[in-house]
Structure 1
């Protein structure tokens, strides 16, 4: 195992989430739909990942942009209290902090509407400043920022021989040529369909999508997040299905972000990939049983306790 805390650089979005609970259904244009309540919660995929990495025992650093508004100040306060190094976050006077409306149904599933705000102005030089000052063990990023920044972040990390984990959300079709050789590309089901044109609704289709991504991006690993079906890991030779944990979901917000961050921390600590995935599953399982973005993210002790309490599930996963 690696000695000391791994240093994880997260590059990505910082949002205030307006969460609406028990939304009846997706409305039609011109139609109003009721919900049972709402609240404001700090979040954003990059912010969630940095928060989760810190909660899992890493030295977590965040590159992102916020406005000089109350939402941005609330985000910074929450992240700093969690131990995230925010010294590379830019306070952008020209743009508002990102805002996401999370509309959650009675089963804990959600759809969101995202106003990028300052996230649309994250620049490669913001990332370069962090990489020039700290030796990182892994970079974690997503697609809630300009694609050129995504590509140049990977290029800078590759020059420094830093592995990059791309959580390929939100769902969109992007050219993958400039990401060839990336360490991990990890979309969920909707993101897999958007990237590949293949809906991963069956075992055969899921494995076809994994092969397609491997051919296009040539990563070390393709890691498909498949909700209740667990995850599929593909290294160009072998397909490995890694089961998750069955829990009663309340809110799936931040679950994928927590999964990826927990996995990254465990891998950097020396765990093999399958063990890291199972740990990520446990962290995500705890996350979906709670409401909100940051408030739903577990600590390392909570994940370890969950794993001890679910030894039967772990034995079943190993069969």
Structure 2
């Protein structure tokens, strides 16, 4: 099968809807460090996914059938079951900016997976802005006094790969139902899959107070059910590569929240990285300035 050339999206409504998800996900880092009890990454993942999934199932009143039982299970592992706990491990062990910097590599992973699984040959325009996004976020982190924790960095990278593959497989298999129901299935599956691991490795659930309850409620409803509804709905309308740039918003939001709420100062190089990352997100969604033609990495040209 010949490789097609992926196209920059022209429907900004779906881009904005999809972008709202990683923007909210960017609050995970400050909520984790400021609201949640420390030392419970797997339980935090369970309490984010499972309540949201149960609420979603009660609303949609629909369960997967036939081949979509195992397909939704696989998608739940990629998008929730692996991504959530790895995200919380990174969030607990790394500063907010560094924890999210690793997600900046996601466009490159998605481009590679889409090339192999969707036969989409990436445009040089998109690859260039993917690299620019990585450079921008890297500058934001390397210019700070962040501490490099090997386990946290490994968790962040593996989580990014898992979500990147989840994005591409969502496009490959499509979804058999609306975005809200699909989100409910995956969150419920993901929470159930992680529950035995939470009990085995972390014992009883973490102690709760009003502050932690508010934190988990935010991550579960706003950062779980609503954002995954927005993410999967938008992902059905835009390309996988277009969607892969949007998680770059997470480090931007995390950095801004640290600057505004935690008095984390930003140096001039960090502001440069911030603007470079934001530019990569926007320009990756539009056609290149030299016109409609796009050159792929294979040298093909589309007119």
Instruction: Tell me the TM-score normalised to structure 1 length.
Output: 0.26
Greater helix share, 1 or 2? 2
Of structures 1 and 2, the one scoring higher in RCO (CA 8 A, sep 6+) is: 2
Greater strand share, 1 or 2? 1
